[in-house]
Amino acid sequence: MKFEIKIKDNNSKARAGVIETDHGTIETPIFMPVGTVGTVKAVHFSELESDIQAQIILGNTYHLYLRPGLDVIQQAGGLHKFNSWTRPILTDSGGYQVFSLSHRRKIKEEGATFQSHIDGSKHLFSPEKVIDIQRIIGADFIMAFDECTPYPCEYEYARKSMELTHRWLKRCITHFDNTEPLYDYNQTLMPIVQGSVYPALRKISAETIASFDRPANAIGGLSVGEPVEMMYDMTAEVCEILPIDKPRYLMGVGTPANLLESIALGIDMFDCVMPTRNARNGQIFTSEGIINIRNLKWKTDFSPIDANCPAPTSQRHTKAYLRHLFHAQEILGAQIASIQNLSFYLWLVKEARKHIIEGDFTTWKKDMVERVSRKL
């Protein structure tokens, strides 16, 4: 993996860059659609490529490990061959999913023991095993195994969790560096900064992660219920410490406004289930604001869903038609809504990149944050 910053914004920490991987180029800042079990829900890959224009998608170690299982993925030749996605993939370590099973898991120095949410079977995720699993899945970017703290949590809990994450990281790096990719392309391991909402812990964690000098770094444990101002404060704190010449990935974030504000703080990569999950519930993100498509006001609105977005379905179909599909409980409604939301997210980061390059990002962002946050 290679990362090059093409231009920096003069009035913020925003930057426009390019990441080179063996599966293609990624222009940053970038949003990555979440494909947890090897698919972005309700969206075909041809739509992801041409309509949404996704440059990289996510997969999830926990879910893919349980189903379809590593044997199937390895026999296929890795996740790229299994699901036919030819562009870059990033896999989460599964840590967030494991630790969300609070009543079904136990955390020890060795790793995390948990029960499958599918059949109750018991499994152990250690740092070494998570690396092995992600070698088999074969993503371009793989995440270190970390413990995700809830919000709120006590300082002492956050400190111990962070220190455990750092010890696990050392084991991840050792095992990663002593193993080879299983397929004919390279993989990049990304450490994760933790520390909850405590500035002192975030500083320690960011300094520790930076000291390992890996090609890219991530920020985890945010967007878990803390006030948005706190999330921005922690992100800014960490971005001041992480190396400027390496990609920074803010995990699990967020709303359109969150993306824009975080880009201004120096973040390059984002992922979130919000655009697809909210789409399936009738919340539509557009270049003019947020729509609850079930509302009566859209019943006879025959304007395009979003004339500014590149997805043909968003320009071809009307708000009235999309509302009808939701009220008729047609599957097509969730599909069109998901394409719209993802298309909008990718359009938004592309516009942000354009304005960083043109030199008016800060002015544009101020107007855009207000626009994309309003409820129509």
Among residues 9, 146, 268, 271, the one annotated as catalytic is: 271
**Phi and psi at residue 354, in whole multiples of 5°?**
-60, -40
* Pair 190, 216: CB distance under 8 Å: yes
Q: What span, in angstroms and rounded, lies between the C-alpha atoms of 48 and 25?
A: 16
Q: What span, in angstroms and rounded, lies between the C-alpha atoms of 254 and 266?
A: 15
Q: What span, in angstroms and rounded, lies between the C-alpha atoms of 59 and 142?
A: 10
* Pair 271, 34: CB distance under 8 Å: yes
Helix ranges, the chain (H) = 45-47, 61-66, 70-76, 79-83, 95-100, 127-137, 155-177, 199-211, 228-239, 256-265, 274-280, 312-316, 319-327, 331-358, 361-373
Does residue 271 have an active-site annotation? yes
Among residues 92, 146, 268, 301, the one annotated as catalytic is: 92
Does residue 301 have an active-site annotation? no
Based on C-alpha coordinates, what's the Rg of the chain? 20
* Pair 10, 29: CB distance under 8 Å: no
Residues with active-site annotation: 92, 271
